[in-house]
Amino acid sequence: MKKPLVSIIIPTRNSSIFLENSLKSIREQSYKNIEVLVVDGGSVDKTLFLAKKYKAKIHIFDPHLPSGVFDAPHKRNFGVKKAKGNFVYYVDADMELTKNVIEEAIKLCLLKYDAVIIPEDSFGVGIWAKAKNLERRCYWGDNTIEAPRFFKKNVLEKLGGLDENLGGGGDDWDLYQKLLENGYKVSRTKSLVKHNEGNLKLTRLIKKRFMYGKDSFKYIVKRPKAGTRSYFPLRKAYFKNWRLFIRRPIDTGAFITMRTAEYSAGLSGAMYSLLRNK
């Protein structure tokens, strides 16, 4: 039987620093029936050149959203409308897929599952990249953080896609909740997707968390119970993985500093949003 087509959707904007390695990892997948859709929001670097080099389908996304709006869920939903595959997979430009990710996800969906979580790892340069690696490894198997990004397309369409009013992770978590509420089955791969953190700086993390924080209350208001669990700073996953922290004491110190800074920035972003909308 012909293997079903998988549509990989990559939202981009000036993403060339990471995009080529992401596209290489897709080209090197053990599963080959893949189309790649780059949904670009006005790149002026080499993003579109790289997309053409790796034969991705380019779709320009220009909805004239207000400044400061988190546009990733808009781009992903737009990509789904353009996708021709029976399955869709959201991939960020800084993600690199290990060799068997797509093959394993397809097998799970052809068995009995409707969506698949691909656990995330990370790598990069410097102490903050190591701290982020430590954090991501704590989240493996944590349903309050991990969310599926690989779906049967018809299931995604029935659910109406991502809530474009949410951002900062809330869009992914909300979609996961909709899957569960409607009785769909979700599984996990053993294969990983890896975030390329690059030369990660604490200032970059703080700016990103402030931006995410501005949207955080939207998810909490929509789903108070799930939202509180997802944003709560003291996670069971940290205590569950105490051995990991003991084995990496220097990274643990950086992790504590990093998470404190991120939560402070997120709270500042949330308060800024509340005061601005009064």
Q: What is the DSSP string of 57-68?
A: EEEE----PPTT
Residue 1 is predicted with a pLDDT of: 54
Q: Which residue bears the tokens 């909490």?
A: 220
Give the tokens for residue 108: 């799970």
Instruction: Measure the CA–CA gap between 22 and 29, rounded to whole angstroms.
Output: 11
Residue 169 is predicted with a pLDDT of: 80
DSSP letters, 68-122, are T---HHHHHHHHHHH--SSEEEE--TTEEE-TTHHHHHHHHHHHT-SEEE--EEE
Instruction: Measure the CA–CA gap between 49 and 57, rounded to whole angstroms.
Output: 12
For the chain, residues with pLDDT lower than 70 are 1, 68, 278
Residue 278 is predicted with a pLDDT of: 65
Instruction: Measure the CA–CA gap between 245 and 229, rounded to whole angstroms.
Output: 22
Q: Which residue bears the tokens 């979700």?
A: 186
Model confidence, pTM: 0.93
Nearest to 80 by CA among 160, 174, 169, 9: 9
Q: How far is CA 165 from the centre of its chain?
A: 16
CA atoms within 13 A on the CB side of 54: 24
Residue 168 is predicted with a pLDDT of: 75
Q: Which domains does the chain have, with CATH numbers?
A: 6-276 (3.90.550.10)
